[in-house]
Chain A
Amino acid sequence: MTDQSSAPRSFQEIILRLQTYWASKGCAILQPYDMEVGAGTFHPATTLRALGSKAWAAAYVQPSRRPTDGRYGENPNRLQHYYQYQVLIKPSPPDLQELYLGSLEAIGIDMNLHDIRFVEDDWESPTLGAWGLGWEVWCDGMEVSQFTYFQQVGGHDCAPVSGELTYGLERLAMYVLGIDHVMDMPFNDPQSPSPLTYGEIFKQTEEEYARWNFDVANTEVLLRHFEEAEAECAAILAQDHDDPKTGKRIVMAHPAYDQCIKASHVFNLLDARGVISVTERQAYIGRVRALAKQCADAFLLTEAAGFEA
Chain B
Amino acid sequence: MPDLLIELFSEEIPARMQTRAGEDLKKRITDGLVEAGLTYASAATLTTPRRLTLAVEGLLSESPMIREERKGPKVGAPDKAIEGFLRGAGLTRDQLEERETPKGAVYFATIEKAGRPAAEIVAEVLEATIRNFPWPKSMRWGSGGLRWVRPLHSILCILTDETGAQVVPMEVDGIKSGDTTEGHRFMAPGRFAVSSFEDYAAKLKRAFVVLSPAERAEHIWNDAQNLAFAAGLEVVDDKGLLAEVAGLVEWPVVLMGRIDDEFLELPPEVLQTSMKEHQKFFSVRNPKTSRIEQFITVANRETTDNGATILAGNQKVLSARLADAKFFWENDLRVAKSDIAQWTRALEYVTFHNKLGTQAERIDRIAALARELAEVTGADADQVETAARLAKADLSSEMVYEFPELQGLMGRYYIEAASEDAAVAAVAQEHYSPLGPSDDVPTAPLSVTVALADKLDTLTGFWAIDEKPTGSKDPFALRRAALGATRLILENDLRLSLDRFFDSQLVRAEGAINDALSKSNVEDLLEEIADHGVFGAAFKAVKDNLGEKPTAEFLGLEKKVPDASDDLLSFFHDRLKTFLRDEGIRHDIIDACIAMDGNDDLNLLVKRARALNAVIATEDGENLVQGFKRANNILTQAEEKDGVEYSYGADIKFAETDSEKALFGALEATQAQIDPALKAEDFPSAMSAMAGLRGPVDAFFEDVQVNTDNDILRRNRLNLLSQIRQVCSSVADLSRIEG
Contact = CB atoms under 8 A, between A and B. Distances in A.
Nearest to B138: A133
A295 B287 CA distance: 61
A132 B153 CA distance: 19
A92 B142 contact: yes
B142 A91 contact: yes
A133 B150 contact: yes
Interface stretch (B8-16, B330-338, B691-699): B8-16
B300 interface: yes
Interface string B150-188: 110100000000000000000000000000000000100
B365 interface: no
A55 B633 CA distance: 83
Contacts of B194: none
Contacts of A113: 303-305, 309-310
Nearest to B314: A141
Contacts of B151: 92, 94, 149
A115 B305 CA distance: 12
B321 to A, nearest CB: 9
A219 interface: no
A160 interface: yes
A112 B304 contact: yes
Nearest to B139: A133
Interface in A247-267: none
A94 B142 contact: yes
B300 A119 contact: no
Contact of B142 (A160, A274, A279): A160
Interface in B140-155: 140-143, 149-151, 153
Contacts of B153: 94
Interface string A157-176: 00111010000000000010
Contacts, number: 98
A163 B151 CA distance: 11
B309 A114 contact: yes
A159 B11 contact: no
Contact of B139 (A77, A111, A117, A132): A132
B55 interface: no
Nearest to B13: A120
B555 interface: no
A159 B297 CA distance: 39
Nearest to B255: A115
Interface string A126-170: 000000111100011110000001010000000111010000000
B180 to A, nearest CB: 16
A279 B137 contact: no
Interface in B300-327: 300-301, 303-305, 309-310, 312-314, 316-318, 320, 323
Query: What does DSSP make chain B's interface, helix, strand, loop or mixed?
Result: loop
Nearest to B319: A180
Contacts of A277: 351
B12 A118 contact: yes
B545 interface: no
A118 B16 CA distance: 13
Given A113-B303, A277-B351, A120 B142 contact: no
A135 B301 CA distance: 19
Given A111-B186, A159-B140, A140 B317 contact: yes
A34 to B, nearest CB: 32
Contacts of A279: 351, 354
A149 B279 contact: no
Nearest to A163: B141
B593 interface: no
A122 interface: yes
B300 A91 contact: no
Interface in B232-276: 248-249
Given A140-B314, A279-B351, A133 B309 contact: no
B351 A120 contact: no
A140 B279 CA distance: 10
Contact of A161 (B142, B248, B301, B317): B142
B13 to A, nearest CB: 8
A151 B140 contact: yes
B15 A161 contact: no
A146 B149 CA distance: 17
Contacts of A93: 142
Contacts of A132: 139
Given A113-B309, A140-B313, A141-B317, 16 more contacts: A76-B320, A94-B151, A97-B11, A113-B310, A118-B12, A118-B49, A120-B14, A133-B138, A140-B317, A141-B297, A142-B316, A149-B140, A160-B142, A160-B143, A161-B141, A161-B142
Interface of B: 11-12, 14-16, 49, 137-143, 149-151, 153, 186, 248-249, 279, 297, 299-301, 303-305, 309-310, 312-314, 316-318, 320, 323, 349-351, 354
29 contacts: A76-B320, A76-B323, A77-B320, A92-B141, A92-B142, A92-B151, A97-B11, A112-B186, A113-B310, A114-B309, A114-B313, A115-B299, A115-B303, A116-B186, A116-B300, A119-B248, A120-B14, A120-B16, A133-B138, A133-B139, A140-B309, A140-B313, A141-B297, A159-B140, A161-B141, A161-B142, A163-B141, A278-B354, A279-B354
